[in-house]
């Protein structure tokens, strides 16, 4: 029952991560039903870490002469075309169709990093949020900080609140911000460790934009759970996540000013944590309406593969070989009134 399959890294022949069979069996049953024929190709990517890819997000606050030409020489190309409805000129991200990982940079106190390695699909919630200079922005579940860094590549918020409830992850968030953001701008950032479910009551109608990158059943990491017993416990508790996500969304709606927008995202394929949560919110909050992001999806269709049949206010990135980005679910909503 707790059998783990050994996964070999083909390029070097070394034993790498181990697939937890109980998680794979669970995913096989659920995602075969939810994704149909698309699951086979997604499964092939999720169970093959040697084909995973990393995008390179350049840090506009750190000069890096020669970096872009070096990326080009290694087969990287700019990720987001000008055809997108909203791509800030300052946002520079490079991707490659080949698997592999660009060398990472270590954290050094007092020294900014030149780039951030991430799953390219992680930038879609940030692009959907469309942050403008001077706006009040809340990143409700901010750790480890990649999306917070990406937001600051796009615009200079009037004030930027990065929240992370978990103590260890909050320290990770603070280190990420220190690694990428210069001192003058850091003064505009508030990092807190509040329960995200309470922020709406603590700061009602305070923000123009809210990102809810919610805690979820992270499909990639769960598949490679080092402790099979912990994996079984996670799967048992999985049903509880959707209620937490709904509570975080309700808090985000309260924290939004009328006319403000929120973006909800997860890194799971699970319908219960994605569309079902958003539909529950829309059905229970009469002052929230969906926002069409299908134009953004069309604009990045060369980079990403999307599940067909989703509604116009949502998208789901499906990993496939050569474009091993995701899973990433994104939905956008707007608050139209106080009640």
Question: Which residues are marked as active site?
Answer: 267
Name which of 195, 198, 194, 234 is nearest 216 in CA terms: 234
**Binding site, annotated residues for S-adenosyl-L-methionine:** 141-147, 164, 195, 213
Would you say how long the chain is, in residues? Answer: 339
User: Exposed e or buried b for every residue in 266-287, given b needs 16+ CB within 10 A?
Assistant: bbbbbbbbbbebbebbbeebee
**Whole-number Å distance between alpha carbons of 216 and 235:** 11
Per-residue tokens: 9: 């890294």
For residues 31 and 269, is the Cβ–Cβ distance under 8 A?
yes
**Rg of the chain on CA atoms, in Å:** 19
**Binding site, annotated residues:** 141-147, 164, 195, 213
**Whole-number Å distance between alpha carbons of 281 and 283:** 5
């Amino acid at each position: 029952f707790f059998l783990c399959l050994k996964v070999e890294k083909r390029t070097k022949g070394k034993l790498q991560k181990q697939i937890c069979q109980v998680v794979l069996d669970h995913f096989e049953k659920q995602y075969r039903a939810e994704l149909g024929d698309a699951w086979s190709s997604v499964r092939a990517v999720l169970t093959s870490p040697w084909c995973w890819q990393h995008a390179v997000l350049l840090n506009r606050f750190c000069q890096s002469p020669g970096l872009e030409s070096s990326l080009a020489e290694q087969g990287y190309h700019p990720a987001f075309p000008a055809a997108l409805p909203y791509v800030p000129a300052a946002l520079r991200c490079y991707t490659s169709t080949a698997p592999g990982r660009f060398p990472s940079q270590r954290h050094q106190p007092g020294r900014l990093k030149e780039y951030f390695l991430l799953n390219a699909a992680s930038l879609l919630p940030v692009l959907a949020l469309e942050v403008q200079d001077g706006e009040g922005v809340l990143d409700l579940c901010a750790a480890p900080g990649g999306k917070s860094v990406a937001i600051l590549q796009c615009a200079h918020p009037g004030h930027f609140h990065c929240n992370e409830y978990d103590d260890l992850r909050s320290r990770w968030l603070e280190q990420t911000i220190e690694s990428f953001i210069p001192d003058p701008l850091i003064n505009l950032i508030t990092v807190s460790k509040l329960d995200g479910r309470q922020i709406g009551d603590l700061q009602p109608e305070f923000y123009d934009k809210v990102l809810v990158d919610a805690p979820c059943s992270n499909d990639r990491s769960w598949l490679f759970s080092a402790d099979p017993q912990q994996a079984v416990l996670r799967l048992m508790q999985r049903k509880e996540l959707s209620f937490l996500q709904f509570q975080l969304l309700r808090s985000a709606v309260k924290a939004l000013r009328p006319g403000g927008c929120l973006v909800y995202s997860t890194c799971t394929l699970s319908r219960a944590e994605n569309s079902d949560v958003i539909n529950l919110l829309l059905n229970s909050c009469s002052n929230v309406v969906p926002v069409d992001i299908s134009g953004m999806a069309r604009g990045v269709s060369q980079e990403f593969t999307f599940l067909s049949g989703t509604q116009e206010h949502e998208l789901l990135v499906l990993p496939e070989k050569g474009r091993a980005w995701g899973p990433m679910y994104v939905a956008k909503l707007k608050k139209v009134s106080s009640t």
